[in-house]
Structure 1
Amino acid sequence: MRTGTWLRVIGGLALVTAIAIAIQFREHLDPAALEAWIGGFGVTAPLVFIGVYALASILFLPGMVMTLAGGALFGPVWGTLINLVGATLGATLAFLIARYLGADWVTRRLGGRMKQVVSGVEAEGWRFVAFVRLVPLFPYNVLNYALGLTRIRLLAYALATFICMAPGALAYTYVGYAGRQAIAGGEAAIQTGLIALGLLALVAFLPRLVKRLRGPSEWLTVAELAERLRADHPPLVVDVRSPEEFTGELGHIEGAVNIPLDQLEDRLGQLPDDRPLALVCRTDKRSKNAARLLRANGFGDVAVVRKGMTAWVEAEAPAEAGAATAPRQNHRTT
Structure 2
Amino acid sequence: MSRTTWLRIGAGLVLMAGILIAVQYRDHLDPAALEAWIGDFGVTAPLVFIGVYAIASVLFLPGMVMTLAGGALFGPIWGTLINLVGATLGATLAFLIARYLGADWVERKLGGRLKQVVAGVEAEGWRFVAFVRLVPLFPYNLLNYALGLTRIRLLAYVLATFICMAPGALAYTYVGYAGRQAIAGGEAAIQTALIALGLLALVAFLPRLVKRLRGPSEWITTTQLAERLQGPNPPQVVDVRSPEEFTGELGHIEGAANIPLDQLESNLEQLPKDRPLALVCRTDKRSKNAARLLRAHGFEDVAVVRKGMTASAEHSPRD
Which TM-score band (shorter chain)?
0.7 to 0.9
Q: State the shift of 1:178 in Å.
A: 0.1
Change (3 A) 1:302 1:284: closer
* Kept in 2: contact 1:287–1:304 (CA 8 A): no
Change (3 A) 1:30 1:291: same
Percent identity over the alignment is 71
* Kept in 1: contact 2:288–2:304 (CA 8 A): no
Which residue of the partner structure matches residue 28 of structure 2? 28
* Kept in 2: contact 1:175–1:193 (CA 8 A): yes
In structure 1, distance between residues paired with 2:80 and 2:129 = 20
1:282-321 equivalent positions in 2, closer than 5 A: 285-288=289-292, 301-302=305-306
* Kept in 2: contact 1:71–1:173 (CA 8 A): yes
Check if 1:278 corresponds to 2:280.
yes
Check if 1:190 corresponds to 2:200.
no
Which residue of the partner structure matches residue 245 of structure 1? 267
Give the 3-state SS of the residue equivalent to 1:229 in structure 2.
coil
Change (3 A) 1:18 1:284: closer
Q: Which amino acid aligns with 1:16?
A: M
In structure 2, distance between residues paired with 1:298 and 1:154 = 30
Check if 1:202 corresponds to 2:202.
yes
Structure 2: where are the runs of 5+ without partners? 221-239, 310-319
Cα distance per residue 1:51-88 (max 9 Å; x no partner):
00000000000000000000000000000000000000
Give the 3-state SS of the residue equivalent to 1:136 in structure 2.
coil
1:134-283 equivalent positions in 2, closer than 5 A: 134-215=134-215, 226-229=248-251, 237=256, 245=267, 259-260=271-272, 263=273, 266-268=274-276, 278=280
Q: State the shift of 1:92 in Å.
A: 0.4
* Kept in 1: contact 2:241–2:258 (CA 8 A): no
Normalising to structure 1: TM-score of the pair?
Answer: 0.75
Larger Rg: 1
Give the 3-state SS of the residue equivalent to 2:275 in structure 1.
helix
Q: State the shift of 1:286 in Å.
A: 3.5
Compute the RMSD of aligned alpha carbons: 3.2
* Kept in 1: contact 2:280–2:287 (CA 8 A): no
Q: State the shift of 1:245 in Å.
A: 1.8
Q: State the shift of 1:244 in Å.
A: 7.5
Which residue of the partner structure matches residue 69 of structure 1? 69
Normalising to structure 2: TM-score of the pair?
Answer: 0.78
Q: Which amino acid aligns with 1:201?
A: A
Q: State the shift of 1:235 in Å.
A: 8.6
Change (3 A) 1:301 1:122: farther
* Kept in 1: contact 2:291–2:303 (CA 8 A): no
Which residue of the partner structure matches residue 310 of structure 1? none
Q: State the shift of 1:104 in Å.
A: 0.2
